[in-house]
Amino acid sequence: MEKYYMAAMGGADGFGNKSIELLVKHFGSAKDAWFAKEADLLETNVRKNSLGAFITWRKAHPDAPENLVSYCKRQKINLCSINDDDYPPILKEIDSPPMFFYYRGKLEPLAQRIGIVGTRQNTAYGQSVALELGEELAAAGLTVVSGAARGIDTFAHRGALKTGRTVAVLGCGINFIFPPENKKLLEQIAESGVVISEFPPQLTPNQGTFPQRNRIVAGLCKGVVVVEAGSKSGALITSTFAGEYGRDVFAIPGQIYAEKSLGCNDLIRTGAILIKNAQDVLDEYNISNINKVETQDKVVKAVELEGIAAKIFEIIPSDGYITDEEILMQIEEINSSELPNIMIDLEMNGFIIEEAGRYKRK
């Protein structure tokens, strides 16, 4: 129950990890801090504005800890605190580690992890690299960590799911799906890896939540690979955190005139490790061989297509490509919001290949 008092304290707007840590240390437990008298709270070293937010929140939600227990049970959400045995030790090394986080899936606290991040507006080059890196690094036994955002993050997760394990760190509450088209992807990650968030379960994303998310991505990993990033990409925030935490920073080079590679090329110029493929990363960690899986062996023959998925597969060519728009034009009973999840399933089960938003049979 102690960790639920801790998480309930985190519901107060602007009452972050350092404030929670100070109160827990001062009063000896999160429960005692939750029930502390206002006069005693004001004697602590927590900033007055933060304390005011906590006191106001507690008055408005006196049963928050108990309600949180019930909510997590109903929603099948797990809660991990910094005092739990399954809290990743490497995450405790960072400045202001999360005092708690919510998760779905299975935590593997001692896993070796590598981050793969990049722009939301990737090119075909970035997509191909992210998919390949995710797949091959996961096949070699590393857990791939990313932020579940559009673009490079999504392709890194999808690649890792083909051969191994991946972790999605959210920039919103665990019960708020963002981006919405990644709903199915996040379900798949939770089945074989883990989805985590330090934010209240229903919190919507904002400009402040993503940098917080990025520090956890960096904190969980031995190193971070930046696949494709412009000069102002949020992925560079992750690489900055990685450098501050003593993690390795890797970067994929791009053409000198390519806007989406400016950030990566600058990272290399200032000391990041240039890599061309997954084996370059593995060599840094003395992992000698990638356990490659032959493409044909990865096709799940036991999966039988039916319904809309079968209709879509029938119109996908083997000697050319088809786009989302062309699929929607030919199959009227499907709408644009449903299509991405169906195409992810077809790709994950080895039926199709996606290249730059176009599809063909594998």
pLDDT tens for the chain, 362 residues long, are 999 999 999 999 889 999 999 999 999 999 999 999 999 999 999 999 999 999 999 999 999 999 999 999 999 999 999 999 999 999 999 988 999 999 999 999 999 999 999 999 999 999 999 999 999 999 999 999 999 999 999 999 999 999 999 999 999 999 999 999 999 999 999 999 999 999 999 999 998 999 999 999 999 999 999 999 999 899 999 999 999 999 999 999 999 999 999 999 999 999 999 999 999 999 999 986 554 443 333 333 334 577 888 889 889 988 888 998 889 888 888 887 788 878 887 887 778 888 777 888 87
CB atoms within 10 A of CB 302: 6
Number of Cβ atoms within 10 Å of the Cβ of 94: 18
Tokens (6 digits) for 198? 């330090």
The per-residue DSSP string of 123-183 comes to -HHHHHHHHHHHHHHHHTTPEEEE---TTHHHHHHHHHHHHS-EEEE-SS-TTS-SSGGGH
Do the bridges between strand 322-323 and strand 358-361 make them parallel or antiparallel, or are there none, so unpaired?
Answer: antiparallel
**From its phi and psi, is residue 274 left (phi > 0), alpha (psi between -120 and 50) or beta?**
beta
Q: Which structure tokens are listed for 233?
A: 């990409």
Neighbours of 269 (CB within 10 A): 10
Identify whether the C-beta of residue 251 lies closer than 8 Å to the C-beta of residue 267.
Answer: yes
**CA–CA gap between residue 173 and residue 171 (Å, rounded):** 7
Torsion of CA 19, 171, 209, 100, to 10 degrees: 0
Inter-residue contact 281 to 250 (CB < 8 Å): yes
Which residues, in sequence order, are bridge partners of residue 196?
Answer: 103, 169
- Is the CB of residue 13 less than 8 Å from the CB of residue 55? no
Confidence (pTM): 0.80
pLDDT score of 358: 85
Tokens of 230: 């412009």
